[in-house]
C-alpha cells in the first residue's frame, strides 16, 4: 500500500499506459480519477474497479474541461495529491513538411497545452496543501527521435523541458515534478507509431530495444508508483527512461 491515503488524477486513464497506472495506483491504496475524453470507457472502468475509482470525461486540451476535471476531483476526494499528465496523441508517420496543420494542432493541444492547463488548474491547490507530485508521460521520442514522427517527437521534448522547469520552480512549494520516457509499448497507440502493424515492423522496432521487448502498461504503472510515492521524496526534475535500454 505504497500510495495509501493519496488521491490521484490520471489523464488518458481509460486505455494503455494510463490504465496500467490507474490499476497500479488502486492496488497500492490510492483513490483515482480516470479522466479521459472517452467518458463512457472511463465510466465503465471505474464501475468495474469499485469505490476508489471515479470517472471524469475531459478534453485535456480544452481549458474549461480541465477546470471542471480539477473541481470534480477536489469535490470527490477533498484533495489532489498526484496528477498524471498521460493523455497523448500522435500524427501518423509522415515527412515533417507534410503533416497537416490540423494534426499539428491536435498534437500541440493534447501533448503540450494540456500540461499548462492542468498546472493552471491544480498547482494553486497543491501550493495551498504544501505538497504534490506531478508526473508527465513523455517519451523516448523526446530524447532519441525516430524519423517521420517529428512534431510528436518535438512535443515530448517540450514536455521533458517543461518537467524540469516546473520542478525547479515548484520544489520550494513541496511539489515534485517528474517525467517518464516510455519506449514503444503494447497499447492501442502503437500501431500509429509503426504505421502498419506487421511482424516485420514489430521486429524492426524491437531490434532497437536492448531488452528485446515492447514496454507494457504494467512497466509504466510500476515506474509511476515509485516516482509519485513518498519513497521518491528527494527525486524531482528527472525524465526517467522506461525503455529497456533503447536510449543508451
Q: Residues 145-184: x/- map of binding to ligand NAD (CB under 6 A)?
A: -------------------------------------x-x
Q: Residues 97-126: x/- map of binding to ligand NAD (CB under 6 A)?
A: -------------x----------------
Rounded to 10 degrees, what is the CA torsion of 156, 157, 162, 168?
A: 130
141: phi then psi, degrees, rounded to nearest 5: -60, -25
Rounded to 10 degrees, what is the CA torsion of 159, 164, 169, 174?
A: 100
139 binds ligand NAD (CB under 6 A): yes
Judge whether 152 counts as a catalytic residue: yes
Closer residue to ligand NAD, CB minimum distance, 132 or 182: 182
C-alpha closest to that of 29 among 55, 54, 5, 53: 5
Distance, CA of 111 to CA of 133 (rounded, Å): 19
The stretch near ligand NAD (CB under 6 A) out of 24-32, 57-65, 75-83, 97-105 is 57-65
C-alpha closest to that of 106 among 43, 37, 14: 37
Provide the binding-site residues for ligand NAD, judged by CB under 6 A. Answer: 11-12, 14-18, 36-38, 58-61, 86-89, 110, 137, 139, 182, 184-185, 187-190, 193
Catalytic residue set: 152
Amino acid at each position: 500500500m505504497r500510495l495509501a491515503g493519496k488521491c490521484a488524477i490520471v489523464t488518458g486513464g481509460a486505455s494503455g499506459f494510463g490504465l496500467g497506472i490507474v490499476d497500479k495506483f488502486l492496488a497500492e491504496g490510492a483513490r483515482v480519477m480516470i479522466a479521459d475524453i472517452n467518458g463512457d470507457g472511463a465510466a465503465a472502468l471505474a464501475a468495474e474497479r469499485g469505490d476508489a475509482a471515479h470517472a471524469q470525461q475531459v478534453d485535456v486540451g480544452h481549458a474549461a474541461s480541465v477546470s471542471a476535471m480539477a473541481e470534480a476531483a477536489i469535490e470527490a476526494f477533498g484533495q489532489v495529491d498526484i496528477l498524471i499528465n498521460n493523455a497523448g496523441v500522435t500524427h501518423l508517420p509522415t515527412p515533417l513538411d507534410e503533416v497537416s496543420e490540423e494534426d499539428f494542432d491536435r498534437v500541440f493541444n493534447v501533448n503540450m497545452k494540456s500540461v499548462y492547463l492542468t498546472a493552471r488548474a491544480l498547482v494553486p491547490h497543491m501550493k495551498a496543501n504544501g505538497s504534490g507530485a506531478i508526473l508527465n508521460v513523455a517519451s523516448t521520442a523526446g530524447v532519441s527521435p525516430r524519423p517521420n514522427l517529428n512534431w510528436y517527437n518535438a512535443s515530448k521534448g517540450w514536455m521533458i523541458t517543461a518537467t524540469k522547469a516546473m520542478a525547479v520552480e515548484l520544489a520550494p512549494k513541496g511539489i515534485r515534478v517528474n517525467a517518464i520516457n516510455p519506449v514503444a509499448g503494447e497499447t492501442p497507440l502503437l500501431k500509429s507509431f509503426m504505421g502498419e502493424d506487421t511482424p516485420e515492423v514489430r521486429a524492426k522496432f524491437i531490434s532497437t530495444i536492448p531488452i528485446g521487448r515492447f514496454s507494457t502498461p504494467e512497466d509504466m504503472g510500476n515506474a509511476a508508483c515509485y516516482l509519485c510515492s513518498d519513497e521518491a521524496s528527494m527525486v524531482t526534475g528527472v525524465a526517467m527512461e522506461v525503455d529497456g535500454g533503447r536510449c543508451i
